[in-house]
Structures are given as C-alpha cells and as structure tokens.
Amino acid sequence: MNLNFFFEVLIGGLLSGVMYALVALGFVLIYKASGVFNFAQGAMVFFAALTCVSLVNHWGFPLWVAILTTIATMAVLGVLIERIVLRPLVNQPEISLFMATIGLSFFIEGMAQLMWGAEVQRLDLGIEDVPMESLLTNFNIIVSKFDVVAACICAILVTCLALFFSRTKIGRALRAVADDHQAALAVGIPLQHIWGIVWAVAGFVAMVAGLLWGSRNGVQFSLTFVALKALPVLILGGFTSVPGAIIGGLIIGSTEKLAEVYLGPFVGGGIEGWFPYVLALLFLLVRPEGLFGEKIIRRI
Amino acid sequence: MLYREAGQFKSSYEADGQIFPLRQDRLGIALLLVLAFVAIPQFASAYYFSAILIPFLIFSLAALGLNILTGYAGQLSLGSAAFMAVGAFSAYNFILRIPGIPLLLAFVLGGLSAALVGIAFGLPSLRIRGFYLAASTLATQFFVVWALTKIQWFTNYSSSGVITAQKMEMFGYEFSSPASKYLLVLAIVSVMALLAKNMVRSNVGRSWMAVRDMDVAAEVIGIRLMRTKLLAFAVSSFYCGVAGALYAFAYLGTVEPEAYSLDLSFRILFMVIIGGLGSILGSFLGAAFIVLLPVFLNVFAHALSLPTSVASNLELMVFGALIIFFLIVEPHGLARLWQIAKEKLRLWPFPH
Amino acid sequence: MKCIKSLLVAASLLAATSFVWADQYVPLLSYRVGPYGSNGASFFGGLIDYMNLTNLNGGINGVKLSWEECETEYNASRGVECYERLKSKNGGASLVEPLSTGIAYGILDRVGTDKIPMTTLGYGRSDAANGKVFPYVFPLLSTYWNQAGAMVVYLGEKSGGMDKLKGKKIVHLYHDSAYGKEPLPVLEAEAAKYGFELIKIPVAPPGNDQQSQWLQIRQANPDYVIMWTFGVMSAVGLKTAQRNGFPREKIIGVWWAGSEEDTEPAGDAAKGYAAMSFTTPGNYPVLDDIRKKIYGQGKGNLKELDRVGNVMYMRGVTSAVLMVEAMRVAQNKYGKGKPLTGEQVRWGFENLNVDVARQKALGVFDMFPPIKTSCDDHEGSGAVKVVQWDGKQWVALSKTWITGDKALVRKLLEESSAKYAAEKGITPGCLK
C-alpha cells in the first residue's frame, strides 16, 4: 500500500470535511438557539454567494465592498426570516418548522435567481487552487493551497464564534436562550431579538461557506446541495455543538474519501453519495445523540 | 342543518362502527365514486387522464404510505421515493422473469419487496428518533438509488440503466388507453385507501398512534415497539412500492433510477404535511395541491405573459411562500380545514 | 330583423368553423431554473431567436411559427405534464425537443401514439437512430455512441495513430447515472478492439467534491481522461484536476461538459481542456442576422447580447435550423403554404438533406456537419469536432468533421434496438 497516497487521500478528506463543517456550523447555530432545523441553510449559502459574486461581476464593486454589502444583506434576510416565517410558528411541532424552512429554501432559491439570473458565475477570491509546491517536491503529497487557506479561515471563524459566545453579552444571551427559553425570558432576555441576531449570524456563516464553496466550484444552483452533505456531519457531531460540527466534518470528510478510494472499486464505485449517511446511521445506533450532542432524556 | 346525525339510529355494532356513520357522508362518498368511475371517463380528455388524474392518484397512494409512517406512527421518513423505486423495479423484474404472471400479483410482489426493504431500513427507528431518523432515511434514499444503478441485474443489463415497463394486461385486456389506465389506477388506489382507512381505525392503527404520541409510554402499557414500528415501515413501504410500480407502468413508461430521487421524496413529504399528518383524506388533498399547483402557476404566469425565466423563478417562490403560508394558517393541513368545514356545516344555516 | 339576425349568426358560425390554424405550433418543454437552468436558458434562447428570425423573413413559405414555453425544471414528471398539456393546443404540436434524457424517456412511448416527432439532438437513446424501431424519435446529428467512437479516434490521433492506443490507459470519469453509463458499451468494445485499458471511475451526483476520484486518477496515471459529466460536476472536475496537478490537455469532455457554463467557473483550471461538439464555435451570418434584426429591435430572448454565440445558444440555433428545414422539406412534398401535421413533419425529419451548399444558403456553413437522414438512419451524420477552451472562448481544434468507428456503433445499435423492439412487441419497419 502506497503510504504517500494514503496520506494524500486522508489530508484531502480532512480538508474537504472542514468545508462541510463550515456549512454545518450555520445549522448548529440556528438549532442551538431556536430549536429549528433550518433546511434553508443551503439556499442561504447559495444566495449569499450569488449576491456577492453578482455585485462584483455585474455591478463592478471591488471584492471587499461586495463582501460587506453581502454581510448586511444576509443580516437583513435573517431578521426578516425570523420575523415573517418563524414568529408565527413559534409553538408548532418541530416538523412544521422544518417544513417551513423547506418552503423557505424554495423561496430563497427562486428569489436569488430572479434577482441575479441563472448563469453560472466565477468567483475569484485570489487564492489559487494548485498543489503546494513544498509538500509536492519534498514528500510527493498533493495538498491544495486553497484547502489549507479554507481550513485556516474556518479555524478563525470558529475561534471568533467561540469568543463571541463566551466573552460578549449577546453571546452569553444566546447561550442562555439555547439552554432554556423560559428561563432566559424570566431573566429578561429579549427572545425575539436574540433569534433575529442568531439568524443574522447564521447568514454570515452561510456567506463565508458560500464564498469558499463558490470559489471552489463556481457559483451556481448546485451550491444548495452542499447542505445535504452537511447533514451526516450534524448527525455525527450532534445538532447542538460547534466543536461537534468541526469534528464531525473531519470524520465524515476523511472516511468518505478513504471509503471511495479503497472500498469503492470493490463495489463499482460512486459510494460517496450514501457512505456518509450510512456511517452516520451506524454511529447513531451506538450513540443516538451524536458525539457531542445533548443527551436526550425522555420522560413520560 | 342538513348535515347532522339526528334521526340516524344504529341497531348493530357493525353499523355503529362503520367508516361513514352518517348517511350524508355515505351519500357523498357514493357520489364521489360514481363521479370518479363513471362520469370522469365520459367527459375528461386524454390530457386530464395522463397528466393530472393518474399522477394525482399515484402520488396520493405514495402520500398515503408516507402518512401511515409519519402521520400515524410518527416516524419521520425522507426515503419514500426509494421504496417507490424498489416497488417499480421489482415489479418489472417479476414480470420479466416469471412469464405469464398476473399483473396485480406482480404489483403486490413489488410492494412486498419494497416492504422487505422498508423493514430492513426501518430497523434504526428502534434506536433513533426525530430528525436523526429522517437523516438516516436519507441513507436509504441514496443507497437504494445507487444500488439500482450499480447492480445491472435489476435493469436487465440495459446499456443505459433504464427500464421500459411492459404492457399492462389482465385477462387478455390491455390497458393502453389513458382512460383504461386511469380506471385501473383508480381501482387499485380506492381498494388500498379503504384498507388503509380500516387499518388506522384498528388495533394496529391505535398502537401506531400511541407510539407516535409517546413511545416510552406505549412501551410501558405493553405495546411491542419493535413489531409496531417495523409494521409501520412495512405497510408504508408496501404502499409506496405499489405507487412506484404504478408510476413506472401507468405513468412514465420508461424510468431510470434517477427518476426516484430525493426531490420526489420531498414532494411526497410536502403532500403529507400540507394535506394533514395523520389523515387519510389529507393524503389525497395534499397530492391534489402539489400536483395542481405547478400547473396553475404555469398557466397563470403564461396568462400574464411574463418572460419564462421570470415566470419559472416566480413559480418556485410562490410555491415556497404558499407552503409557509399554509403552515402558518393551518398547521394541521387541509384535512383539518375540511373538518372545520364539516363542523360548521352541522349548524349551517343557523348561527348557533 | 329576425332574418338578418339568423344570417349574422350563421355567418359567424361559418367563419368560426372555417377558421384554420395558420401557424406551425411548436411546444417548448424548456427549463430555465434549477441546476441546469443556465444551459436551458441559452439553448431555448437560441431556438426562439431563430424562430423569430424565420418569422421575420416570412416564415416557411408564408407559414409562421408559433410556440409556447412550459417550465419542466428538468424533471421527468413535469416534462410529461407539460407535454400532455401543450401537445394538442393551437392545432396540434409539430414536434417536441425536451433537451433532457429523463423527459425524453418519459414521453418516448407517447410521441409514437400521438404522432408527434421528437428530436433529441445529441442525447437520449443512442439506438433511436434506428428509425425502423423508433419512427418518431430523431437523435439528429450525433448520438452518444458515435461521440464515444469519435473520442477514441481523436485520442488515437493524439497518440500518433490508432495502433499506438495499444497499452494506453484511458479513464472514463462519469456521472453515475444512465447518462454517464451510456457510452460504456462502445468504449468497452473499442477497448477490446484497440487494446487500451479502460478504467471506469464514477462520480456520485451532483459531484460537488471529486477529490477522491482525481486522487485515484493521479494514482492510476492514465494517458487520457474522458470526462462524461454534466452540470457542476464538469467545473468541479476541471478544478480538482488542477489542484491535483493533472494536465487538462489530457482531458476530453463530452459535449454536455463543453460549454461556457462549465469552463467559466473553473477559471484558469479550464485552459487547455478539450471537448467534443457537434457545432463549430465561431461567428456565422445567421448569428449576425439575429443580432441585427432581433436584438437590434429589442426582441432577443436572452438578456445579455454577449451570450449570443455561446455553445448552448448555437445548439439551440442548430436545433431550430434543422426543424425549419424539416418543415420546408415536408412542405415541398405535402403542399407549400399550409401548416403541417406531426406525421408530415416526421416525414420531413426522415428526409433531411442539409449539405454544404444548403448550409451556405442558410448562412450556417460549417456550423454543424452536413446531415442526411433516412428511415434506417435517424441520426444523419455522426460527425463531430473537437473544440478547446483557450481561456476566453472555445475554438475548434479539428479542421474537419471526424467520425468514429460507425460500423461498430451500428452493430451495437441494431442489437440494442432489436432488444427494445422485442420487449415492446414492435415489428421494425419504415413508415411511409
């Protein structure tokens, strides 16, 4: 067995996993704070990426201005979603909220293409997607520069989020709301404002994920499908844990790639589509709430 | 005023326990059946058969299946299209490899294969609940479609991996015209809907509802969880399997495994949610809504002479907005709206 | 008074019943949203623009074209619904072009009974080229099987001769679905014949991440890679090839992976990538006409003028050109100046002969290969060109139209269509 190749696949998988984790972060934030499984996260990723790239390509904004404008747009979108879609559905069962977010995802997808058109666009963040020469020449291992930069960005994002949650007043309020809605209300935390803020932050995370994925794949409708890859990550890591999302992402990314390369040829290949799900499923049989999820206690 | 049970006395337990205890309801259903079996074939055009009624019936059957699993038994599933695919491909293979097999038997066997697959992939439900179960049913969805694409035996080694459904024949009569296909599908769906209605009123249905409401409590009072949950998966997959077989044989004619994609699973879930979870009528209402809405939007947008790209995106947006609207206005679905209407009918035209 | 009234009523009734549809109606099962919306928008834009141009130039012997679009979202069930709804409107559909294999399969049986010809330019069932089994299906210009054959010929030329293919490694990287598996019979037969090793590597749709596949390719170190992908999978494939250091000059793509939607998002990664095409990129008198007469008057279908001349746009124009030619040929037989029925248009498609002289007259010389159809051969050509992305646009690498091993393809085609005929109980034969 070629060890270099194994490391290539492993490292490539870990870095892919980081990209999945980025998308999963948005889900975690919203689920943690408002108990809603936001299926529209994929559509938000797409919308954010499309807005940013269209501002650059069609309206000629410089990249940093486009990014700032997109952040503002996503914040506004998040607040609007909370107000229009979620507030009326506050006490409904989880499944209704889930369905509402699916409807929301259709709405956002249609709106994005209505506003900016359906063409595939190129997003250039200035990071090249080529192998790192040092690793290539010294160890004959291919690791993409882009992937490494993306992993660093993800690390910075997670650190910022961690600092936000632990050091700032709003962050502490978010954690309180995530813990217990009633208690947070009792202490005087304005629940609806907090939810609006959470959606805005999730929108920001969606934008980062959208920019990175869009730069990697081109900004087009298929970006919405990256959300499907984030689901096994969430299952593995637990729906309510940020470190869980990262670790889940790393595990899913690496096992998916290793399975495709080493197990795939025996069964005809193409197993990447279902392998992460089956893995997550098997994992759930052992630990039903995921690695870092809150233990579900059910009482009669 | 007209719709009330005053004056209708039952003199036997069977009469008391029938599905439609009110005479008005029985009349209504009889009228509906006469309309469906006799009147519509006389007046409807081939377009209505092929593009509206047949898919409506097929999707209602699939929605019935999913409603049994998600609405009655409380197990959220996103893999219904996979079970449809299993039903379609196994029915095709049974007819292919057992010459002279009766058509209905092939459909039943297709449904049974789907039920077996449903039991296999329903095993995780014994340990996992809620969204986690939904995500694991996605594993079913992706795995089944992959398996049908990969294992060439299922598609009879066709070079492009598609199957062409054989002709539907029963006792020498061939179902080739849209009207005859419609009648066949209608007959199958009515029988299965009746079966479903009775099933959910019975012991089995009550145990499902107990598991849905709180499975720990259900186990405490003596309901065998494994048997109940797996039975729900089996029955639901059976219905989806027959629906899938009809989808291939009576609707599309030629299918590839990709036709039973995640998109279809979501559509069926929409039908169930909008129609009403835990309601047989709701499956039909939801299917009608989802089948007819895109057509309406298309015709409407065309009437407004909008450029097609705008129209297509607007359709998507309106579809999403309507789903949200319905969930806000009536979270229990269209079936609940119908129930409220019936309640109001009891008093009408009197105010109280 | 009564007399006048009844006369008026009679006259209006007479007028109503004698109203004959004077237009040639074409329903368009188009898609402009969803993952392939961009491709569909360009294709149908080109088709509609050419139809508008034809109408502006007086129609076909005075018969104008009319059309109606219906959004299918590339979904088989919606495609069937659109087809059933639109097929009998306005006097009946003359033809249908769904631009989707799934939808084509869904309406395959119906077009025969409804007597409406279906064109499937460059996709769909390859064995539909056998008009004796599929009288109403026309995979014009080239099918997937002939394209695969042509790919092998191109790779042979690149290696310095077909005999040099022996011992080479060719990877078939494909969309893991019916579409991606379509060329396998031909590729495997050619591998057996010429002695190259065919390595099959599937990509699970939608193919957003192909790291493992390209690492496997790097490990196998093939001489060439055939990229049989669609949608985002193509751009991701090129970018992943770049990040794994695989030279794009060694990659040859299928024609649905060879348009601007695939190369533009990939940026630098696409430079040097070649693909097959049944249209030659470049400018043509007909495109200039469209720009001047249609977009000049603000009646263009696409929002951006610079998308006129894109690969998918040209395919739409090609489809429309062949359609109008078929109608013209049919009118020559069945009577000029009257709208045609589906059966008559079918005859037109079966007797197409667009040779070089005719192409020059239409202003589309060399835009597509000369095509001559017959009952036996609903494809009519089977010739393709290799085009390459130079970083800014597609340019033709092949100077002439190349074909693959048509005899091998024909043999496979006849076997496959015979199997279909047996399954469906069809007796092969030519329609009058």
Query: Which residue in this structure is represented by tokens 């002695």?
Result: C195
Q: Which of C257, C277, C297 is the last residue of a domain?
A: C277
Determine contact: B149 vs chain A, CB below 8 A: yes
Determine contact: B348 vs chain A, CB below 8 A: no
Q: Say if C255 falls within a structural domain.
A: yes
What are the b/e assignments for A179-189, b being 16+ CB within 10 Å? eebeebeeeeb
| Cβ–Cβ < 8 Å for A77, A44 | yes
Task: Give pLDDT, residue C1.
Answer: 52
The mean pLDDT of chain B is: 89
Average pLDDT over residues A32-49: 88
Q: Which of C277, C305, C323 is the last residue of a domain?
A: C277
Give the residue numbers spanning the domain of C372: 23-142+284-383+412-424
Instruction: Answer yes or no: is pLDDT of C170 > 90.
Output: yes
List the CATH number of the domain containing A243: 1.10.3470
Average pLDDT over residues C420-427: 83
Share of chain C above pLDDT 70, in %: 95
The mean pLDDT of chain C is: 86
Q: What is the pLDDT of residues C295-345, one digit of tens each?
A: 888 888 887 888 888 899 999 999 999 999 999 999 999 888 888 888 899
Q: Which of C262, C277, C292 is the last residue of a domain?
A: C277
Which of A50-54, B56-60, C178-182 has the highest mean predicted lDDT (pLDDT)? B56-60
* Partner-chain contact A100 B324, CB within 8 Å: yes
Q: Say if A282 falls within a structural domain.
A: yes
Task: Give pLDDT, residue C269.
Answer: 85
Q: Say if A298 falls within a structural domain.
A: no
* Partner-chain contact C303 A220, CB within 8 Å: no
Neighbours of chain C (3+ CB pairs under 8 A): A, B
Q: What is the pLDDT of residues B192-244, one digit of tens each?
A: 999 999 999 999 999 999 999 988 899 999 999 999 999 999 999 999 999 99
Chain A residues in contact with B131 (beta carbon < 8 A): 37, 94, 98, 239
Neighbours of C255 (CB within 10 A): 22
Say whether both C305 and C419 belong to one domain.
yes
Task: Give pLDDT, residue C3.
Answer: 53
pLDDT band, very low/low/confident/very high, at B88 (cuts 50, 70, 90): very high
Say whether both C273 and C297 belong to one domain.
no
Q: What is the pLDDT of residues B297-326, one digit of tens each?
A: 888 877 887 777 787 788 888 888 988 888
Determine contact: C160 vs chain B, CB below 8 A: no
Neighbours of B302 (CB within 10 A): 15
Average pLDDT over residues A193-211: 89
Say whether both C81 and C70 belong to one domain.
yes
Chain A residues in contact with C307 (beta carbon < 8 A): 119
Q: What is the pLDDT of residues C352-370, one digit of tens each?
A: 999 899 999 988 898 999 9
* Partner-chain contact B323 A99, CB within 8 Å: yes
Q: What is the pLDDT of residues B117-174, one digit of tens each?
A: 999 999 888 888 877 888 889 999 999 999 998 888 888 887 777 888 888 888 888 8
The two three-digit tokens of residue C29, written as one number? 């099962």
Q: Say if A134 falls within a structural domain.
A: yes
The two three-digit tokens of residue A2, written as one number? 């070629």
Neighbours of A295 (CB within 10 A): 9
At what angle are helices A41-57 and A226-237 packed, to 10 degrees? 140
Residue B327 is nearest to which of A96, A111, A118, comparing CB atoms?
A96
Chain C residues in contact with B265 (beta carbon < 8 A): none
CA distances (Å), origin B315, targets A46, B48, B100, B285, B293: 18, 21, 46, 20, 9
Task: Give pLDDT, residue A116.
Answer: 86
Q: Say if C31 falls within a structural domain.
A: yes
Task: Give pLDDT, residue B83.
Answer: 96
Say whether both C31 and C149 belong to one domain.
no
| Tally of domains in chain C | 2
Domains of chain B: 48-347 (1.10.3470)
Q: Please choose, from the candidates A82, A28, A23, the residue with its C-alpha nearest in 3D space to the C-alpha of residue A294.
A: A28
Say whether both C138 and C148 belong to one domain.
no
Q: Please choose, from the candidates C317, C271, C265, C315, the residue with its C-alpha nearest in 3D space to the C-alpha of residue C291.
A: C317
* Partner-chain contact A277 B142, CB within 8 Å: yes
Say whether both C267 and C307 belong to one domain.
no
The mean pLDDT of chain A is: 86
Predicted-complex ipTM score: 0.87
Say whether both C91 and C137 belong to one domain.
yes
The alpha carbon dihedral of B308, B313, B319, B325 has a sign of negative
pLDDT band, very low/low/confident/very high, at C19 (cuts 50, 70, 90): very low
Say whether both C168 and C137 belong to one domain.
no
Q: Say if C3 falls within a structural domain.
A: no
Residue B294 is nearest to which of C41, C78, C88, comparing CB atoms?
C78
Q: Say if A291 falls within a structural domain.
A: no
List the CATH number of the domain containing C154: 3.40.50.2300
**What is the distance between the alpha carbons of residues C253 and A65, in angstroms, rounded to a whole number?**
37
* Partner-chain contact A220 C232, CB within 8 Å: yes
Q: Say if A91 falls within a structural domain.
A: yes
**What is the distance between the alpha carbons of residues C280 and C287, in angstroms, rounded to a whole number?**
13
CA distances (Å), origin A5, targets A130, A150, A226, A257: 17, 22, 26, 12
Instruction: Answer yes or no: is pLDDT of B258 > 90.
Output: no
For C186, nearest residue in chain B (alpha carbons): B159
Q: What is the pLDDT of residues A106-123, one digit of tens each?
A: 999 989 988 888 778 888
Determine contact: A249 vs chain C, CB below 8 A: no
Q: Say if A257 falls within a structural domain.
A: yes
Say whether both C56 and C89 belong to one domain.
yes
The two three-digit tokens of residue C380, written as one number? 């009519």
Residue A142 is nearest to which of C204, C235, C245, comparing CB atoms?
C245
Higher pLDDT, C301 or A206: A206
Residue C243 is nearest to which of A122, A146, A222, comparing CB atoms?
A146
Give the residue numbers spanning the domain of A157: 3-286
Residue B313 is nearest to which of A103, A114, A228, comparing CB atoms?
A114
Q: What is the pLDDT of residues A156-194, one digit of tens each?
A: 998 888 888 888 888 888 888 877 778 888 888 888 888
* Partner-chain contact C423 B166, CB within 8 Å: yes
Whole-angstrom distance between the N-terminal and C-terminal Cα of chain C?
54
Q: Say if A180 falls within a structural domain.
A: yes
**What is the distance between the alpha carbons of residues B206 and A158, in angstroms, rounded to a whole number?**
47
Chain A residues in contact with B217 (beta carbon < 8 A): 300
Q: What is the pLDDT of residues A253-273, one digit of tens each?
A: 999 999 988 888 888 878 888
Say whether both C97 and C210 belong to one domain.
no
Determine contact: A130 vs chain C, CB below 8 A: yes
| Cβ–Cβ < 8 Å for A268, B150 | yes
Q: Say if A206 falls within a structural domain.
A: yes
Q: Please choose, from the candidates B126, B131, B271, B264, the residue with its C-alpha nearest in 3D space to the C-alpha of residue A95.
A: B131
Task: Give pLDDT, residue C21.
Answer: 57
pLDDT band, very low/low/confident/very high, at C14 (cuts 50, 70, 90): very low
Say whether both C244 and C260 belong to one domain.
yes
Q: Say if C13 falls within a structural domain.
A: no
Instruction: Answer yes or no: is pLDDT of C8 > 60.
Output: no
Say whether both C181 and C264 belong to one domain.
yes
CA distances (Å), origin B128, targets A290, A297, B144, B227, B269: 11, 13, 20, 15, 19
Q: Say if C246 falls within a structural domain.
A: yes
Q: Say if C5 falls within a structural domain.
A: no
DSSP C384: B
* pTM metric for this prediction: 0.88
The two three-digit tokens of residue C128, written as one number? 């539909």
The radius of gyration of chain A's CA atoms, rounded to the nearest angstrom, is 20
Q: What is the pLDDT of residues C117-162, one digit of tens each?
A: 999 998 888 888 898 999 999 999 989 999 999 999 999 988 888 8
The two three-digit tokens of residue B78, written as one number? 């996103």
Average pLDDT over residues C80-100: 87
| Cβ–Cβ < 8 Å for B35, B217 | no
Q: Say if C404 falls within a structural domain.
A: no
